[in-house]
Chain A
Amino acid sequence: NAGVMQNPRHLVRRRGQEARLRCSPMKGHSHVYWYRQLPEEGLKFMVYLQKENIIDESGMPKERFSAEFPKEGPSILRIQQVVRGDSAAYFCASSPMPGNEKLFFGSGTQLSVL
Protein backbone atom coordinates (compact mmCIF):
# COMPACT_ATOMS: atom_id res chain seq x y z
CA ASN A 1 0.00 0.00 0.00
CA ALA A 2 1.78 3.12 -1.22
CA GLY A 3 1.90 6.13 1.03
CA VAL A 4 0.78 9.64 0.21
CA MET A 5 2.45 10.59 -3.06
CA GLN A 6 3.28 14.15 -3.95
CA ASN A 7 4.83 15.37 -7.16
CA PRO A 8 6.90 17.01 -8.22
CA ARG A 9 9.29 16.91 -5.29
CA HIS A 10 10.90 20.15 -6.41
CA LEU A 11 9.32 22.79 -8.66
CA VAL A 12 10.99 25.91 -9.96
CA ARG A 13 8.92 28.67 -11.48
CA ARG A 14 9.56 32.23 -12.61
CA ARG A 15 7.42 35.05 -11.30
CA GLY A 16 4.09 35.16 -13.14
CA GLN A 17 4.03 31.49 -14.09
CA GLU A 18 1.59 28.89 -12.79
CA ALA A 19 2.46 26.13 -10.35
CA ARG A 20 0.53 22.86 -10.12
CA LEU A 21 1.18 20.59 -7.17
CA ARG A 22 -0.25 17.08 -7.10
CA CYS A 23 -1.17 14.85 -4.20
CA SER A 24 -2.34 11.25 -4.48
CA PRO A 25 -3.75 10.12 -1.12
CA MET A 26 -3.23 6.71 0.34
CA LYS A 27 -5.52 4.00 -0.97
CA GLY A 28 -8.86 4.19 0.80
CA HIS A 29 -8.34 7.77 1.96
CA SER A 30 -10.92 10.25 0.72
CA HIS A 31 -9.91 13.26 2.86
CA VAL A 32 -7.01 15.50 1.89
CA TYR A 33 -5.40 18.41 3.72
CA TRP A 34 -2.90 20.88 2.22
CA TYR A 35 -0.36 22.75 4.33
CA ARG A 36 2.33 25.32 3.60
CA GLN A 37 5.57 25.55 5.52
CA LEU A 38 8.05 28.41 5.36
CA PRO A 39 11.64 27.84 6.53
CA GLU A 40 11.95 27.69 10.32
CA GLU A 41 8.18 27.87 10.72
CA GLY A 42 5.37 25.46 11.48
CA LEU A 43 2.81 24.01 9.10
CA LYS A 44 0.04 26.41 8.14
CA PHE A 45 -3.33 24.97 7.17
CA MET A 46 -4.53 25.91 3.70
CA VAL A 47 -7.44 23.74 2.64
CA TYR A 48 -9.35 20.57 3.52
CA LEU A 49 -11.05 18.59 0.75
CA GLN A 50 -13.09 15.48 0.33
CA LYS A 51 -13.71 13.86 -3.03
CA GLU A 52 -15.22 16.55 -5.32
CA ASN A 53 -15.84 18.92 -2.39
CA ILE A 54 -13.95 21.72 -0.68
CA ILE A 55 -14.83 21.46 3.01
CA ASP A 56 -12.72 24.25 4.46
CA GLU A 57 -10.56 26.70 2.52
CA SER A 58 -10.16 29.26 5.29
CA GLY A 59 -6.37 29.06 5.08
CA MET A 60 -6.15 29.72 1.36
CA PRO A 61 -5.21 33.18 0.08
CA LYS A 62 -8.25 34.69 -1.61
CA GLU A 63 -6.49 35.30 -4.89
CA ARG A 64 -4.31 33.15 -7.16
CA PHE A 65 -4.70 29.94 -5.10
CA SER A 66 -7.18 27.15 -5.80
CA ALA A 67 -7.52 23.49 -4.95
CA GLU A 68 -9.51 20.56 -6.21
CA PHE A 69 -9.94 16.88 -5.48
CA PRO A 70 -11.77 15.31 -8.42
CA LYS A 71 -13.61 12.01 -8.39
CA GLU A 72 -10.77 10.47 -10.36
CA GLY A 73 -7.14 11.44 -10.04
CA PRO A 74 -5.02 13.32 -7.54
CA SER A 75 -5.78 16.44 -5.56
CA ILE A 76 -4.30 19.54 -7.23
CA LEU A 77 -3.13 22.73 -5.56
CA ARG A 78 -2.85 25.43 -8.19
CA ILE A 79 -1.05 28.72 -7.77
CA GLN A 80 -1.45 31.24 -10.56
CA GLN A 81 0.94 34.11 -11.30
CA VAL A 82 3.40 32.99 -8.65
CA VAL A 83 5.39 35.53 -6.65
CA ARG A 84 8.59 35.08 -4.65
CA GLY A 85 6.61 34.95 -1.43
CA ASP A 86 4.97 31.72 -2.62
CA SER A 87 8.32 29.92 -2.25
CA ALA A 88 7.75 27.31 0.44
CA ALA A 89 7.30 23.61 1.08
CA TYR A 90 3.76 22.42 0.40
CA PHE A 91 2.67 19.26 2.17
CA CYS A 92 -0.48 17.26 1.75
CA ALA A 93 -1.88 14.73 4.17
CA SER A 94 -4.63 12.18 3.75
CA SER A 95 -7.01 10.40 6.08
CA PRO A 96 -9.73 7.75 5.64
CA MET A 97 -12.18 9.89 7.61
CA PRO A 98 -12.18 13.24 9.41
CA GLY A 99 -10.78 13.33 12.91
CA ASN A 100 -9.07 10.00 12.43
CA GLU A 101 -5.67 9.25 13.87
CA LYS A 102 -4.56 7.69 10.61
CA LEU A 103 -3.37 10.95 9.11
CA PHE A 104 -0.26 10.59 6.97
CA PHE A 105 1.83 13.12 5.10
CA GLY A 106 3.42 13.10 1.69
CA SER A 107 7.05 14.06 1.18
CA GLY A 108 6.09 17.55 0.12
CA THR A 109 6.76 19.76 -2.90
CA GLN A 110 9.41 22.43 -2.53
CA LEU A 111 8.36 25.39 -4.68
CA SER A 112 11.02 27.92 -5.59
CA VAL A 113 10.01 31.09 -7.39
CA LEU A 114 12.84 32.90 -9.17
Chain B
Amino acid sequence: GQNIDQPTEMTATEGAIVQINCTYQTSGFNGLFWYQQHAGEAPTFLSYNVLDGLEEKGRFSSFLSRSKGYSYLLLKELQMKDSASYLCAVTWVDYKLSFGAGTTVTVRA
Protein backbone atom coordinates (compact mmCIF):
# COMPACT_ATOMS: atom_id res chain seq x y z
CA GLY B 1 0.00 0.00 0.00
CA GLN B 2 1.05 3.59 -0.54
CA ASN B 3 -1.25 5.39 1.88
CA ILE B 4 -0.96 9.13 1.60
CA ASP B 5 -3.05 11.00 4.13
CA GLN B 6 -3.96 14.66 4.25
CA PRO B 7 -6.91 16.52 5.76
CA THR B 8 -9.99 16.85 3.60
CA GLU B 9 -10.80 20.50 4.23
CA MET B 10 -9.34 23.59 5.87
CA THR B 11 -10.72 27.10 6.21
CA ALA B 12 -8.77 30.24 6.99
CA THR B 13 -9.11 34.00 6.85
CA GLU B 14 -7.52 36.25 4.24
CA GLY B 15 -4.04 37.28 5.41
CA ALA B 16 -3.68 34.34 7.79
CA ILE B 17 -1.41 31.28 7.66
CA VAL B 18 -2.49 27.71 6.97
CA GLN B 19 -0.45 24.52 7.31
CA ILE B 20 -1.49 21.43 5.36
CA ASN B 21 -0.01 18.19 6.67
CA CYS B 22 0.69 15.07 4.66
CA THR B 23 1.82 11.68 5.95
CA TYR B 24 2.92 8.69 3.90
CA GLN B 25 4.51 5.30 4.31
CA THR B 26 8.30 5.60 4.28
CA SER B 27 9.11 2.31 2.55
CA GLY B 28 10.20 2.96 -1.04
CA PHE B 29 9.97 6.74 -0.70
CA ASN B 30 11.85 8.85 -3.22
CA GLY B 31 10.47 12.41 -3.12
CA LEU B 32 7.36 14.47 -2.43
CA PHE B 33 5.46 16.98 -4.56
CA TRP B 34 2.88 19.57 -3.65
CA TYR B 35 0.46 20.69 -6.36
CA GLN B 36 -2.29 23.28 -6.41
CA GLN B 37 -5.47 22.50 -8.33
CA HIS B 38 -8.35 24.86 -8.98
CA ALA B 39 -11.70 23.30 -9.81
CA GLY B 40 -11.82 22.08 -13.41
CA GLU B 41 -8.17 22.82 -14.04
CA ALA B 42 -4.93 20.88 -14.19
CA PRO B 43 -2.69 20.56 -11.13
CA THR B 44 0.10 23.12 -11.10
CA PHE B 45 3.50 22.45 -9.55
CA LEU B 46 4.30 24.13 -6.23
CA SER B 47 7.27 22.26 -4.75
CA TYR B 48 9.34 19.11 -4.78
CA ASN B 49 11.23 17.92 -1.67
CA VAL B 50 13.78 15.14 -1.61
CA LEU B 51 15.93 16.13 1.37
CA ASP B 52 14.86 16.86 4.94
CA GLY B 53 14.14 20.45 5.79
CA LEU B 54 12.20 23.51 4.81
CA GLU B 55 12.15 25.05 1.34
CA GLU B 56 10.67 28.50 0.96
CA LYS B 57 9.27 30.00 -2.22
CA GLY B 58 7.66 33.32 -1.59
CA ARG B 59 4.43 32.89 0.33
CA PHE B 60 4.59 29.09 0.06
CA SER B 61 6.97 26.82 1.98
CA SER B 62 7.25 23.04 2.06
CA PHE B 63 8.82 20.88 4.75
CA LEU B 64 9.90 17.25 4.67
CA SER B 65 10.97 14.72 7.28
CA ARG B 66 11.93 11.50 5.55
CA SER B 67 12.36 9.49 8.73
CA LYS B 68 8.91 10.45 10.02
CA GLY B 69 7.09 10.12 6.70
CA TYR B 70 5.77 13.63 7.10
CA SER B 71 5.52 16.79 5.06
CA TYR B 72 3.64 20.03 5.30
CA LEU B 73 2.80 22.88 2.96
CA LEU B 74 2.68 26.30 4.60
CA LEU B 75 0.67 29.06 2.95
CA LYS B 76 1.34 32.54 4.32
CA GLU B 77 -0.48 35.85 3.82
CA LEU B 78 -3.44 34.01 2.39
CA GLN B 79 -5.22 35.55 -0.56
CA MET B 80 -8.66 34.75 -1.94
CA LYS B 81 -7.06 33.25 -5.05
CA ASP B 82 -5.38 30.64 -2.83
CA SER B 83 -8.75 28.91 -2.42
CA ALA B 84 -8.09 25.60 -4.17
CA SER B 85 -7.33 21.95 -3.63
CA TYR B 86 -3.75 21.16 -2.54
CA LEU B 87 -2.44 17.76 -3.51
CA CYS B 88 0.36 15.90 -1.78
CA ALA B 89 2.04 13.42 -4.15
CA VAL B 90 4.82 10.94 -3.48
CA THR B 91 7.32 9.48 -5.94
CA TRP B 92 8.51 6.01 -5.15
CA VAL B 93 11.73 4.22 -6.01
CA ASP B 94 9.87 2.38 -8.79
CA TYR B 95 9.08 5.82 -10.28
CA LYS B 96 5.33 5.59 -9.71
CA LEU B 97 3.75 8.84 -8.56
CA SER B 98 0.84 8.52 -6.10
CA PHE B 99 -1.49 11.28 -4.97
CA GLY B 100 -3.35 11.93 -1.76
CA ALA B 101 -7.03 12.80 -1.98
CA GLY B 102 -6.29 16.50 -1.69
CA THR B 103 -7.05 19.20 0.86
CA THR B 104 -9.63 21.81 -0.09
CA VAL B 105 -8.61 25.18 1.32
CA THR B 106 -11.24 27.88 1.55
CA VAL B 107 -10.07 31.44 2.18
CA ARG B 108 -12.67 33.77 3.68
CA ALA B 109 -12.61 37.55 3.65
**Residues in A lying within 8 Å of B, measured CB to CB:** 31, 33, 35, 41-45, 48, 55-56, 58, 91, 93, 98-99, 101, 103-108
Contacts and interface: CB of A to CB of B under 8 A. Distances in A.
A98 B98 contact: no
Chain A at the B interface: SS class = strand
Contact of B42 (A44, A55, A56, A91): A91
Contacts of B44: 105
Interface of B: 30-31, 33, 35, 41-45, 48, 87, 89, 91, 94-102
A101 B57 CA distance: 15
A103 B45 contact: yes
Contacts, number: 52
Nearest to A55: B95
B99 A103 contact: no
Contacts of A56: 94-96
A99 B102 CA distance: 21
Nearest to A91: B42
A43 B99 contact: yes
Contacts of A33: 97
Given A42-B87, A42-B100, A101-B48, A91 B43 contact: yes
B42 A108 contact: yes
A44 B97 contact: no
Contact of A43 (B30, B41, B43, B95): B43
Nearest to B96: A56
Contacts of B94: 56
A99 B99 contact: no
B3 to A, nearest CB: 12
A45 B98 contact: yes
B42 A106 contact: yes
Contacts of B87: 42-43
Contacts of B95: 31, 48, 55-56, 98-99
